Structures are given as structure tokens and as C-alpha cells.
Structure 1
Amino acid sequence: MSESGRNASEETADTMVERVHGGRPALWFLVKGNRILVAGAMLAAAYAVLVVLGEFGPGSIAKLFEPDPVFALFTPIIIGIIMGVSLVLTFNQLVLSEELGPLGDQRERMVEAMRFREDVEAAVGRNTSPPEPSVFLRGLVEATGERAEALIVALESEPGMGETARREIREYAEGLAADADRVAGDLEGQQFGQFEVVQSALEYNYSWKIYSGRRVRNRYESTLPAPVAEEFDGLLDILEFFGPAREHFKTLYFRWEIINISRALAYIALPALAVAAYMILVFETGDVAGTTAGIDHGLLVVGLGFAVGVTPFAIFLSYILRIVTVAKWTLAIGPFVLRETDRGNDVEWE
């Protein structure tokens, strides 16, 4: 069976929706959704669980009319907010400290960055590479698509090739070209700092493309005409540039997100502290006596105060959830597929 002709259940999926258990809802919660909205969803769930357990769980609502339970609930929240925000801000400084260093280190970083750009420019046949990450990645993806189309043209000019080799190479090239068009369209117009740039880079499953391309290339190496072999090698060379570029921009994006976490916590920390302090110093459950839909007002207000108090933690958790999920999906660089596959012996040594 050809490298690209097998059915979808046997192939590492190109799109993240197909890779994530739970489909679009899980993908939205893990990475795609606005982190503030995700934090709000988690807070709403926590508030609902607290109210339901307080109303229908074992125990007595009368405890709320005593000061000790409220004090015991909100005192750790105040301590947690202060310690948590301090810890995150300290971690943020450690991350940003990597941007500080002696002139020699900064110059070496600049030299390596320019060398990589020059290598990419030589590989794709362009004079100057763009400065924006999304445009840079789109150019690499488009270059792989162009090389794949050139490979198909080279196949057409070599009628003496074996039919099996021709079919497998064509299917590989056509699948890659179609996927490159899709990802390049997703990258167009995207601004770095938005998750859509990283998402589009993740959608381009370059690891499997390198593996399957090398497998086909090596399988028929002895019979490939020189023009076909040259186009094939050029395509694989450009694919190998995509991995380091994606990892570099992913690292920059992680730093960007950590800064966003710090800013969000700086905005919400003092209001959350104020609410927690109010619940300890001023609030009396008896002042909100009554029920709504059979639920005691004291439980509703205390639950709301709890939700506001843990808002910094929910925001932190929503951002970290995205960072660790993306990190898990991109642990390996190059032709290594860490996700569960359904290929059996199809990924063995040849």
C-alpha cells in the first residue's frame, strides 16, 4: 500500500481536531479558546459544583451563619493569591532574564539567526526572507508545496519509471501539495502573539511528511532518475527547515504567553484580594437571608466570593493548560511521531 493512499484511520492526522480525543470541544478548551473565556468556564463549573453540593450534599447550610467557615475558606485564598502571584512574577523574571546577557552572547544569537535565514533563503531560492513569523512559516510551507508540484512535473518527464514507484511518489507529492495549500491559507494574515500562528504550524505534520518522504525516496533510490531524485531531495531539505523554525517560534510564543499570564494576574490579583478580605472582615451571611429557586442566598454569595477569589488561579491554569498541551504535542523534532498510531509493522525499519 502506498505511503499516502492508506485510509485516515491508519494515518497520523494532519489536523489537530483529528488528533485530540474529544474533538472540537476538547481542542477549544485545551488550546484554541480565549484563555479568559476558558478560565471563566472553569470558574462557572467550580461555582456550580459548590452550590449544588452545598444545597444537596450531606451537611447543614446553617454552618454558613457562623464566622469560622467563611474565615477558614477565604484566609487560604488570600495567602494563595499573594504567594501564587509572587511566584509567577518571579518565574516571569527568570524567563525574561534569558533576553539579558553579555554582548558576545547576543552577537552569537544574531549570527545564528542570520545564518539560519540565509540557509532557508538558499533552499527555497529567494533573496530575502520575511521578518514576520507567520509570513516566514507560510513561505516555507508554500516552498514545500512548490517543490512537491515540481516533483510531479519531473515524474511526468520520466516515462521510463516503474509504475509502482511513480504512483507512490505522485500520491505523496499530491498529498503534501494539498496540505501545504491548506496550511499556507491558514497562516495568511495571522499576527504573532495569537495562537492561530502556532496552531497553523502544528497543523502542518512535517514529521510524518519527512518520514514517509524518506521512506519512499530510499525505497526506490536505485531506480530514480536524476531529475526526480534532485527534486525529491530538495523537497526533503525544505521540510527539514520547517522543524527548527517551528520550534523557535513556539519558544518565543511560550515566552509571550508567560508575559500574558503575568499581566493578567497583575490585573486581577488586587480585586480578588479585596473580595476575599471583604468576605473575612465585613460579610455576614445573615445580611443576605432568603432563598432563590430554593437555594440559600448565603450559599450563592459565598460561592460567588470563592469564584472571584480563585480567579487568578483559574487564569493561570487556563494559560498553563495551553502551554503544556502544545509542549506535549511538540516534544520531538524531526521524523519522530510520539502520538499513538495505528500502523503496526508499517513503521518498522526497512
Structure 2
Amino acid sequence: MTDEPSDTIDTREEDPNLDQSDIDDDIGTANTMRERGGETRIKTWLVLDGSRLLVTAMLASLIFGVFVFGGMFYYQYYLTDALTADTVETVFSTMISVIVTGVTLTLTISQIIISQENGPLGDQRERMSNTMDFREYTKEITGSPTPADPSAFLRALILESKDYAKTLRESVADSGDEDLRAEVGEFTSSLVENADAAEQKLEGRKFGSYTVVSAALDYNYGYKIFQIERIADDHKDVISEETEIILDDLKTALSMFGPAREHIKTLYFEWELISLSQNILYLSVPALITAGFVTTYLGGSALSGTVLGVPNLIWVTSAAFAITTLPFLLLISYIARIATIAKRTLAIGPFILRDSQR
């Protein structure tokens, strides 16, 4: 995945000898963002799908394990240092400053998010007007009241584009142009399959969970808009008026999905950042208590005894350090997801930023 946009090129114009299977591969796409991006399941789970609290706990466990394992090799040096120097006290007193600073920044982030929701009456009226206009336009497209639930809203637009795709396939069934039938068949089959996967993922999901945004990201509407424009242009001499109207309707439905997804993504970002602020505040209390306890009572001393062959000093200091890093690790887990989503949705509409779809 790159940060530079690319021009989408009709490969058939580049190579007139390209066979139909190559064309079909260009038209159809995988049903999930992970498959299209070529990412591993483990990386996708860690960065996007996994619970942020669980990912945070795993990172803390990794730090704890590294400290315990490393402490076994350097225990003699560490024991001498703990008795004669103030390393432990220095480390954890520094962590207190880090935690306090992190909480302050978190509160600042929360204030910025909340301030975006505040404004004069005129601005709030304009927001309301724009929202209702969009809902009315969506109602005209779908022919039914626009759902209030975000997942149901996205699902309605996806199902509408799916219905138009089926109608498009039927409209060219009697066409005498074999290339048109083949391309429309491959395109609509890919769209219907992608729509089914996204629709099933959205069904019954509540806003606030990543699943809603994940399903929206899986539905690559922008690439489908490009294919509609390409098919309409390449076969403009043989496409009937009925098929042209259906293509326009399908393009409109997909175009409506774009701003709807961006709006729900924005709401999700605000939701996640507020959740991040709350969770950091909750974790900062035990982190501060742990850092303060170690600084006050353990600094300059060494614990005696062993558990499972590991000195107690290593157990205590490793666990204490892992606990004090929890607010920072939680920040990492949340920002990793938000930044990844933001990077993968930089463009709105038929712009291709990933090498996997160029």
C-alpha cells in the first residue's frame, strides 16, 4: 500500500492480445480489504480486527516476558545496581512523569473532539439540514425510509447496488456483443459476491464496534464506479438506452455509499478517540499507584527469594514496569487501528492508491 495515487489504465488498450481471463481478473476483486491488500491474518488482527484491550494486554505481556527473560541473564549486575544505585527509583519516577503527561494529552484530545460537536445554532441547523437532505436522497434511491442505525443504513445502500447489478446483468443477456456480456457478467458477479459478504457482516451489528467500519471498508465501491465508467465508455456503441440508465442508477447508488461510509467512519473515529481517552484515564490510576509504590518502597532495596527459579526482584520490577506502560500501550493499539483505517480511506471515489488494484 502506497501513499501516492495512481492512474487507472485500461489494460486492454495497452495489450490488444490480452485474453478474456486477464480481463476478468482486472474486473473482479477479492471480497475483503485484507485479501485485496495482501496482508496476513495475524497483522490484520493485531492492527484492525482484534480487541484493543486484548492487544494492549498482549503487548504488556510481551514487555513483561522480555524483562523476565533478560533479567535472568543480567540478574547479578541488576542486584548490585539495585542495592548500590537508584536505577529502580529513577525509572519509575520517570514513568510517573510520563503517565501524568500522557493523561494531560489525552484530556486535550477529548476536549478537541468535544469542541467539534459544539457550535452556534446556525451551524447546528446546517448540519441537520445536510443530514436530512442526504437521507431524503437515499430514500429516493432505495424506495424505502432510510434506516437510523448506521449498519442498517450502509446495508441498505449495498443491497440497492446489488439489486441494480442483477438488473444490469439481465439487461445485457440478449445483447449480441459477447465482450459486453462477458464483462458485465464478471463485473456483476464480483459486485454481488462482495455485496453479500459485506451485507452479512453488517447484519445485526451495533455502531461502536469495528465490524461496522470493517464491512464498509471491504466493499470497494470506488473501483466498481470506475468499472461502470469504463464499461459504459468501451461499449457505448452497443449499449442500449435501458442498460445505460441502469448503469447510471448503479453508479448513483455506489456514489451515495462513498459519503455515507466517510460520515460513519468519522463518527467511529470520534467514538474510538473518546473511548481511548476514557480507558487511558482508567488505566492511569493503577499505573500511577504501581509506579509510586515501587519508587517509594522498592527503590534502593532488593527483594529476597525466588519463584519458579526466577528471583522475586525480577518478577516485581518486570510486572511493575509492564503495568506502568499500559496507558501508552493502549494508545498504540488504538492509534494503530485509526491510522490504518485513515490511510486506507484517504481517497473518496474511484481513486486507486494501493498497488494491489492498479
Is the pair's TM-score, using the shorter chain for normalization, greater than 0.5? Answer: yes
Work out which of the residue numbers 273, 285, 302 in structure 2 matches 1:258. Answer: 273
Paired residue secondary structure (2:354): coil
Paired residue secondary structure (1:222): coil
What's the counterpart of residue 214 of structure 2? 199
Pair 15,330 (structure 1): closer, same or farther in 2 beyond 3 Å: same
1:89 equivalenced with 2:104 (yes/no): no
Question: Is the CA contact 1:4–1:168 (under 8 Å) kept in the aligned structure 2?
Answer: no
What CA deviation, in whole Å up to 9, does each residue of 1:115-163 have, x standing for no partner?
A: 111122222233x20111000000000000000011112123xx34311
CA distance in 1, matches of 2:101, 2:129: 40
Identity among equivalent pairs (%): 37
1:145 equivalenced with 2:150 (yes/no): no
CA distance in 1, matches of 2:356, 2:43: 20
What's the counterpart of residue 130 of structure 2? 112
What CA deviation, in whole Å up to 9, does each residue of 1:261-297 have, x standing for no partner?
A: 1110121111110110000001267563123444322
Pair 215,160 (structure 1): closer, same or farther in 2 beyond 3 Å: closer
Moved more, 102-111 or 202-211: 202-211
Question: Is the CA contact 1:64–1:299 (under 8 Å) kept in the aligned structure 2?
Answer: no
Paired residue secondary structure (2:117): coil
1:213 equivalenced with 2:232 (yes/no): no
Pair 332,3 (structure 1): closer, same or farther in 2 beyond 3 Å: farther
Pair 332,4 (structure 1): closer, same or farther in 2 beyond 3 Å: farther
CA distance in 1, matches of 2:208, 2:313: 42
What CA deviation, in whole Å up to 9, does each residue of 1:221-248 have, x standing for no partner?
A: 1220111111111111100111110000
Deviation at 1:7, TM superposition (A): 4.1
1:12-161 equivalences under 5 Å are 13-20=30-37, 22-56=39-73, 60-62=77-79, 63-66=81-84, 68-126=86-144, 128-156=145-173, 159-161=174-176
Structure 2 residue runs without a partner (length 5+): 1-18
TM-score normalized with structure 1 length: 0.91
Deviation at 1:215, TM superposition (A): 1.0
Paired residue secondary structure (1:189): coil
1:303-322 equivalences under 5 Å are 303-322=318-337
Pair 119,303 (structure 1): closer, same or farther in 2 beyond 3 Å: same
What's the counterpart of residue 236 of structure 1? 251
What's the counterpart of residue 346 of structure 1? none
Question: Is the CA contact 2:36–2:357 (under 8 Å) kept in the aligned structure 1?
Answer: no
CA distance in 1, matches of 2:315, 2:235: 70
Pair 11,295 (structure 1): closer, same or farther in 2 beyond 3 Å: farther
Question: Is the CA contact 1:3–1:172 (under 8 Å) kept in the aligned structure 2?
Answer: no
Pair 3,103 (structure 1): closer, same or farther in 2 beyond 3 Å: farther
What's the counterpart of residue 345 of structure 2? 330
What CA deviation, in whole Å up to 9, does each residue of 1:161-195 have, x standing for no partner?
A: 31111111121112211211221111100000011
Question: Is the CA contact 2:31–2:197 (under 8 Å) kept in the aligned structure 1?
Answer: no
Number of residue pairs matched?
Answer: 339
What's the counterpart of residue 348 of structure 1? none
Paired residue secondary structure (1:331): coil
What's the counterpart of residue 347 of structure 1? none
Question: Is the CA contact 2:37–2:354 (under 8 Å) kept in the aligned structure 1?
Answer: no
Question: Is the CA contact 1:43–1:307 (under 8 Å) kept in the aligned structure 2?
Answer: yes
Paired residue secondary structure (2:64): helix
Paired residue secondary structure (1:170): helix
Question: Is the CA contact 1:13–1:19 (under 8 Å) kept in the aligned structure 2?
Answer: yes
Structure 1 residue runs without a partner (length 5+): 344-350
Deviation at 1:77, TM superposition (A): 0.6
Question: Is the CA contact 1:151–1:231 (under 8 Å) kept in the aligned structure 2?
Answer: yes
Pair 335,59 (structure 1): closer, same or farther in 2 beyond 3 Å: farther
CA distance in 2, matches of 1:287, 1:213: 71
Deviation at 1:114, TM superposition (A): 0.9
Deviation at 1:12, TM superposition (A): 5.2
1:297 equivalenced with 2:308 (yes/no): no
Could you say what the CA RMSD is over the residues aligned between the two structures, in angstroms? 2.1
CA distance in 2, matches of 1:262, 1:307: 20
Question: Is the CA contact 1:120–1:241 (under 8 Å) kept in the aligned structure 2?
Answer: yes
Deviation at 1:51, TM superposition (A): 2.1
Work out which of the residue numbers 286, 296, 318 in structure 2 matches 1:281. Answer: 296
Work out which of the residue numbers 182, 192, 206 in structure 2 matches 1:167. Answer: 182
CA distance in 2, matches of 1:284, 1:292: 21
